[in-house]
Amino acid sequence: MKNRILITLSVNVFVCLLALNVFAAKEIVKEYYDTGELFSEKTMVDGVLNGKAQDYYKSGETLAVYRYENGKIEGSYKSYYENGKMMSEANYVNEVLNGEYISYHQNGGRVAGKSTYVNGKRNGKYMQYHSNGKLMSEKDYEDDLPIGPYAKYHNNGQLSEEGQCTNGKKHGVIKRYHPNGKVASEGEYDMNKLVGESKEYDPSGNLYMNEDIFSFKKEKEVKEEKEEQKSKNEEVEKK
């Protein structure tokens, strides 16, 4: 009977010591702002970040909630505005963005943008929305660069701009529109640079500029020279 009691006690002591070792290996690491407020709390196991992590605003409100696995951010990542509303939702694999990324407007909580990431780069359709829920823009991405046709919209749903992108830059004819649907401007772009003729229209559709961009620049230079000469003449008269 004594032997049984001793064995039982030995086992209990071993279990208690093991539990203490496990507890001692796990700790919460805290970081602070320069002004003293808590910035983050992260779980560390055996000296490596593992488990829940949470960041805070200086006010104490939650800024972000996520997890670490073997020292790297893994899985769901959620960020919040200081008013408590969701700012964004993302997914990480080995600390790299992968999967759907959704951002939200601060007031009202409506979706502000939706896109998909592959190995940290935006790929596929990227949609942005106005705070009233109407579509703001739609573009296709490949390895973080916009490609192909794109469109932008006013918050009343009317088209505001349309064109093409090549290797992330505007290329070809770009048209912009007034909120009433009338054409506002049209010009040709060569890899983000406006070339050739540029036309602009008022909200009624009347053309009020139709000049070659190079001639327009020259006219502007002449105007500036005249204004400079006028200022010099006025200074001479004062003397």
Average pLDDT of adjacent 10-residue blocks, the chain of 239 residues: 39 39 75 98 96 98 98 98 97 98 93 98 98 97 98 98 96 96 95 89 82 48 61 52
Residues 115 and 99: their CA atoms lie apart, in Å, by 8
Per-residue pLDDT, 197: 79
**So what's the pLDDT on residue 232?**
55
CA distances from 37 to 29, 53, 66, 67, 198 (A): 14, 17, 20, 22, 54
pLDDT of residue 124: 98
CA dist 50 → 22, 67, 72, 83 (Å): 14, 7, 8, 28
CB atoms within 10 A of CB 199: 15
The answer to whether 39 and 31 are in contact (CB under 8 A) is yes
- Containing 37, the helix (H) or strand (E) segment is none
Quote helix, strand, coil % in the chain, to nearest 5.
Answer: 20, 55, 25
